[in-house]
């Protein structure tokens, strides 16, 4: 693995179980108290045992003092990117820059469709997440009126605001070659899951991200 000269940060993944309802709060407070940097919360809205991730994030951030939060990862097919960006910016403003954005193109398509979301092919998933990143950055920009005409998303004169108080990172959770290339080209980071990216594969997958960054004229670090 390449050493990019970045400091290590540590975090915990929270399963948003509704029973017991205080379980996620106890984990988040322990992470904050014991010096961890990040709390990531799964986003599977179709899972009947789970609380809604954004509702939970909005509850946990004010219970803590310094740890940062992100959806791990936000379910894009069920969360339109303009609204997702608005929600993240709002929470970032309210709690002093402690929100990042983990973004996923979707999985478990039968369950997504069951909640009224779209079913996307692998190619559509790649294109939709690239569009979503562009839309979200527009919503966080200083533009006065937003217009975007994409294959999946559009903006027609939206007036953005409030603006986040820090540059929110967009970290994509994905594993296929085209998605890894996309992460290198346009995202701010990668959110791998051990089940899909075992340690033996990490150098190869990280290399694909670096290649994507190089092709786009970006510094892989």
In this prediction, residue 132 has a pLDDT band, given cuts at 50, 70 and 90, of very high
* pLDDT exceeds cutoff 80 at 124: yes
- Segment 55-87, tens digit of pLDDT: 999 999 999 999 999 999 999 999 999 999 999
pTM of the model: 0.95
- Segment 159-218, tens digit of pLDDT: 999 999 999 999 999 999 999 999 999 999 999 988 889 999 999 999 999 999 999 999
In this prediction, residue 2 has a pLDDT band, given cuts at 50, 70 and 90, of confident
Q: Average pLDDT of 106-121?
A: 96
pLDDT at 1: 61
Domains of the chain, first to last: 11-215 (3.20.20.30)
Q: Which of 178, 201, 206, 164 shows the shortest CA–CA distance to 70?
A: 164
């Amino acid at each position: 693995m390449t050493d990019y000269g970045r400091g290590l940060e540590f975090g915990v993944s929270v399963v948003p179980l509704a029973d017991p309802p205080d379980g996620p709060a106890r984990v988040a407070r322990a992470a904050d108290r014991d010096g961890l940097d990040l709390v990531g919360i799964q986003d599977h809205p179709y899972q009947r045992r789970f609380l809604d991730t954004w509702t939970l994030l909005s509850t946990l951030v004010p219970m803590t003092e310094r740890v940062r939060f992100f959806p791990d990862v936000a379910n894009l097919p069920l969360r339109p990117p303009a609204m997702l960006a608005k929600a993240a910016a709002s929470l970032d403003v309210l709690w002093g820059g402690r929100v990042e954005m983990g973004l996923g193109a979707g999985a478990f398509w039968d369950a997504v469709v069951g909640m009224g979301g779209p079913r996307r092919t692998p190619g559509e998933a790649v294109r939709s997440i690239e569009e979503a990143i562009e839309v979200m950055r527009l919503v966080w920009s200083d533009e006065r009126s937003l217009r975007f005409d994409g294959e999946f998303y559009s903006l027609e004169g939206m007036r953005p605001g409030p603006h986040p108080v820090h540059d929110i990172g967009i970290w994509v959770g994905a594993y296929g070659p085209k998605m890894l290339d996309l992460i290198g080209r346009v995202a701010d980071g990668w959110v791998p899951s051990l089940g899909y990216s075992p340690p033996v594969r990490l150098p190869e997958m990280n290399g694909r991200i670096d290649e994507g960054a190089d092709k786009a004229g970006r510094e892989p670090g």
